[in-house]
Structure 1
Amino acid sequence: MKDATELIRALTGLAWPLFAAWVVWKLLPEIRGIVRHRAFSIKVGNNELTVQEFTNQVVETTAELQQQLTVRTDQSRLRQEPSPPPQRVLHRVLWVDDNPSNNAYQTAQLQAIGVEVVQAESTDEGLRALRRASRPFDAVISDMGRAEAGGFDPEAGLTLIRKIRETDATTPVFIYGGSGATARREQVAAARGNGVTQSPSELFDLLGRVGRFPRTAT
């Protein structure tokens, strides 16, 4: 009787793996077609990305985070007195980029920790969002070069900073772009921008200096 019971348990344990294997075998042609053509998309935050685009952003961001965590772990061993956390809370961010899907993963991360992200695709649209905001933005993020009404403007980020500073001297403005943007760090500072980076983790570090993220705020 004991041997029979053990046999039934063994067969039951095999049932789900065998069923799963059968399902995969039946769907294998469709799965291969999806992977080959990357034919489906997923929604990330406010944007829709192909699986390949999403995967690329996840890989890039997690690699950056791993590198930064390693550096910070080494630094924390040498730091005796950590600086006090900022007193304000980061509630709202305006993100200006003519291709919002480039930042979909970072936008979703901010939303996941309670930060409202308003997206604009041009300098004029961003300035209108600032003027019409029912509540002030705690920070502004912009790419450097983008398509504007008159064509591509390689200095759109600098233009946005200068226009914001005409009426607002305090809201932090950060440039988030590639190596071409980081090479213009001095120009960003001269326009009274608050920082420029191409690193997702460094961007979050810059935002964290403005205010604590809502999910971690006490």
Structure 2
Amino acid sequence: MESIAKLITALATLAWPIVFAVLLVKFYAPIKALIETALARKFTIKVAGNELTMEEVSKQQIDALSDLQSKVAELEKRLGGATQEALGTAPASGKRILWVDDDPKNNSFLVASLENRGARVDTALATDEGVAMFRRSHYDVVISDMGRPEGEKAGIDLARAIKQLSPSTPIYIFCGRWAATNLRDEALAAGVTQITASGTTLARFLLT
């Protein structure tokens, strides 16, 4: 009996590695994917309803910080250090904003900032969708990028369509530096209120 008990104990001891090996084989694929995701830094967080990778979060934070630093330096140069009042912004409480961009993840932190100040931000991915949403609901402000798959001047096309529906609605285009410089006159002629490549400047337009 004693030998049988020892045999059972030995088998039980050997069973754990076998069970572990079976589980490892069974769950190899998801474990491998998890490890690869970790190594590639593809963990995501949700910001303003969008899933962002850590790389995307880092890039937006770096861009926002760099932009803010340049604006603060510009204000300090102009006002001799009296920047506190210049940086003060009014709350966006109650504003309804329509933001049209085919890649809304790029604006996640700006959207979160506006929502934290009391604004409601709805997003559309294309001009037709944005115009349809504007027809259904009243928006205080419209924001658009410039180029989308539908056209390199989609933001200007959107502005013309919105102005036909509501001539008094402010429209801002938030785009790359090239478009902000080279398409500025055409955008303003189409009824765009302001065009900028700076997130800080856009926030100032919206919060004052």
* Larger RCO (CA under 8 A, 6+ residues apart): 1
Deviation, 1:104, is: 1.1
Matched, 1:114 2:118: yes
Residues 78 and 34 (structure 1), Cα distance of their counterparts in 2 relative to 1, 3 Å cut: closer
Aligned residue pair count:
172
Match for residue 77 of structure 1?
Answer: 80
Runs of 4+, deviation exceeding 2 Å: 31-36, 73-79, 85-90
Residues 46-195 of structure 1: matches in 2 within 5 Å? 46-77=49-80, 91-133=95-137, 136-147=138-149, 152-182=150-180, 183-195=182-194
Separation (CA, whole Å) in 2 of partners of 1:188 and 1:181: 10
CA contact (8 A) 1:45 1:108 kept: yes
CA contact (8 A) 2:140 2:170 kept: yes
CA contact (8 A) 2:91 2:118 kept: no
Match for residue 21 of structure 1?
Answer: none
Task: Kindly name which structure, 1 or 2, has the bigger radius of gyration based on alpha carbons.
Answer: 2
Deviation, 1:73, is: 2.8
Deviation, 1:144, is: 0.7
Separation (CA, whole Å) in 1 of partners of 2:59 and 2:47: 13
- Matched letter for residue 173 of structure 1: I
Match for residue 4 of structure 1?
Answer: none
Separation (CA, whole Å) in 2 of partners of 1:90 and 1:114: 6
1:166 is paired with a residue whose SS is helix
Deviation, 1:188, is: 0.6
CA contact (8 A) 2:92 2:117 kept: no
Deviation, 1:65, is: 0.8
- Matched letter for residue 118 of structure 2: G
Match for residue 204 of structure 1?
Answer: 203
TM-score (norm 1): 0.71
TM-score (norm 2): 0.74
Separation (CA, whole Å) in 2 of partners of 1:180 and 1:43: 30
Separation (CA, whole Å) in 2 of partners of 1:115 and 1:40: 28
The C-alpha deviation readout for 1:98-127, integer Å capped at 9, x for no partner, is: 111111111111112211110000111111
